[in-house]
Amino acid sequence: MMTLLIILLALAFISGSPLFTIMLGAAALGAVALPREFSSEFDGMVEHMLNVGLGDQVQVMSTIPLFIYAGYLLAEAGTADPCALFTVFTGASGVTIIALGGVLLPALVRQGYPERFSMGLIAGTGSVGLLFPPALPLFIYGTVYGLTNLAPETWDTRRFLFAGIVPGMVLVGMLSAVAVTVAVMKKLPRQKFDLGELGRSFALAFPELCIPFGVIIGLAAGFDLPQVAALTVVYTVVLEIGVSRLFRRLGVAWGKPLDPRVLWLVSREAMAMVGAIFIIIFTSTALTNFMVTAEVPRALVAWTQSHVASKIVFLLAINVILLIVGTVMDIFSAIVVVLPLIGPIAKAYGIDPYHLGVIFLLNLEVGYLHPPVGLNLFITSVKFQRPITQVMWATIPFLITMIVALLTITYVPALTVVPEAERTGRIADLLAIPHAEIEKLQAGKDITLVDAAGKPLADASHPAPIVKHLADCDAITDEIAKGGCQKPFFDVKDCRGKPNQQTCEHKAIACWVVSSLNASDDGKTPIIPEAEVPLLDSDGNPLKDKAGHQRIRKLADCARADVIDKDSCRELFINVSNCKICPPDDLGIDGCIRDRSIRWYDDNKASLDESP
């Protein structure tokens, strides 16, 4: 039965069924195959899926519809047509070829470029804008990688937006060199440099150029992603409805003024795209949750490391794999399906996550152009009514150039440049100084660690009361660690004046203990009030010994010499303690303890008979 379902799912994928149905179906089949009962596994996957928009990625998720909307406005108005980086606004190279190909091909032929070369140039350069902000694939990749939780301390989507700028410039430079070389070899007529024409062209393109450069400057100045995205939409609406009309009245042929009544149609089309992307992202988290539970990434890492010893060879292999993926899948599907599998392997080889992102997206760009099924080849063939074989031969010089650029960027990671962590720019830094000082003045100087019910926390290593002092945080030099230290003081301050102030304060402190002290890998000693835990089996029933008695696990036994994996032993007590310190709203204390106990049993049942 399972084999038949898998075959049907594969046939549905091949026949072109929506990607989200394939991923959700695969997650459901995975839940059936896992040891625990289907309802427990699949409910957990769906719960994880529905919580995507509530976590740390909420800021990135909120920017996606805003930038898509801005791109649709620009495409409708046609004001981005004069810009070289049209793909930055559209997010898809095929759209660039369709929108600009009819204008660029005749212009290139008039300048003396061969028609076949011109087609190759348009097809080959249609995707170069995908590495420059605010291209949509950058946000999708940043969101999906953040959801994998592979590098929570170092990954920041805002920093990733800058990662492709230098590699993108390298790619543009190489492709430009090919065009210049052909012009010299063909002895095409040269035009005298005209400063006035340059000024007029720059003036016409300047309003649109402000968008990508404004995004970069805004992020560097310390604005949050949602703020930058919202300002981009406001700027675009004003530009296309107000400024464009003003230019027309002044006799300047610039863009196509948008009728305010068209905004509804543009909004409907843009939000349909947003809905499609969000459905894919949300369902991909359910599939990723299954793969993590089934330890698929761990198995892939082990297999790869046993067969590929060299990082250099692995990078070459990953380029080949991604090139193949890029020829058969669109960029958004490739990100949500392939990234959760490749990310853990790349991390095991010590590849920087930002560098991996650039390699990933650049491979998909090249895949658009790679024979025999590259998407840009077919779009160019249909657009210009030329045989597909003719288009393939036309793109060969640019395909070779892009592969050379890809290999250069792959093996020279220094080209992937991202801002320093927590570097938010001079303006934001200056504003942050008085803001931080005001926060410190308003916050309490000391807090006593309690659980959500207000009971003081204590264990064998931490006798009650456990008091934290705000002044101790000032001695921490790392800004991220200092912010984490100060967080409970500021959270308690924010509870003041609320009707349930005391409850709010207790929960703020308790949840900080769970998310900071008890979830830290930097040597901090967790607070573990629960020293004994009754064991449960996969069905949530009490686990009994041979005499029929309930099996009890003791924290003290984890220190015994015959316990090999002491961290795994302590994990049960930390998880159960966390459930009592700050219980999740959706599960409560009992539900949380049951869930964590079952998961721990499933992960450790093979060694239970050999450990205390």
pTM to 2 decimal places: 0.60
Tell me the three-class secondary structure of 550-602, residue by residue.
ECEEEHHHHHCCCCCCHHHHHHHHHHHHHHHHCCCCCCHHHHHHHHHHHHHHH
If one counts every other C-beta atom within 10 angstroms of the C-beta of residue 493, the result is 16
Farthest-apart Cα atoms in the chain, separation: 96
Backbone angles phi, psi at 5, to 5 degrees: -65, -40
Domain-by-domain residue ranges, the chain?
2-50, 58-415, 427-519, 532-608
Residue from 228, 229, 238 nearest 207 by CA:
238
pLDDT of residue 440: 47
Encoded tokens for 412: 């020279």
Q: How far apart are CA 9 and CA 17, in angstroms?
A: 9
Beta carbons within 10 angstroms of residue 214's beta carbon: 15
Looking at the DSSP assignment, which residues form a beta bridge with residue 553?
A: 533
Beta bridge partner(s), residue 456: 450
The region, left, alpha or beta by phi > 0 then psi within -120 to 50, assigned to residue 540 is left
Report d(CA 368, CA 364) in Å as an integer.
6
Q: Is the dihedral of CA 176, 180, 182, 183 positive or negative?
A: positive
Give the residue among 577, 540, 585, 531 at the shortest CA–CA distance from 558.
Answer: 531
Cα dihedral value 218, 75, 322, 15, nearest 10: 140
Residue 184, number of CB atoms within 10 A of its CB = 10
Tokens 């997206």 appear where?
A: 361
Average pLDDT per block of 10 residues along the chain, 612 residues long? 74 71 75 59 57 58 80 69 52 54 70 79 76 81 79 77 89 88 77 75 75 79 80 84 72 65 82 81 74 74 82 90 79 81 87 92 84 73 79 85 92 84 48 47 69 78 76 77 80 75 82 72 69 82 80 79 68 83 80 84 70 48
Cβ atoms of 96 and 87 closer than 8 Å: yes
Containing 229, the helix (H) or strand (E) segment is helix 225-237
At residue 289, what is the residue type? N
Cis peptide before 372 (omega within 30 of 0): yes
With a CB cutoff of 8 Å and minimum separation 6, the contacts of 118 are 104, 105, 108, 109
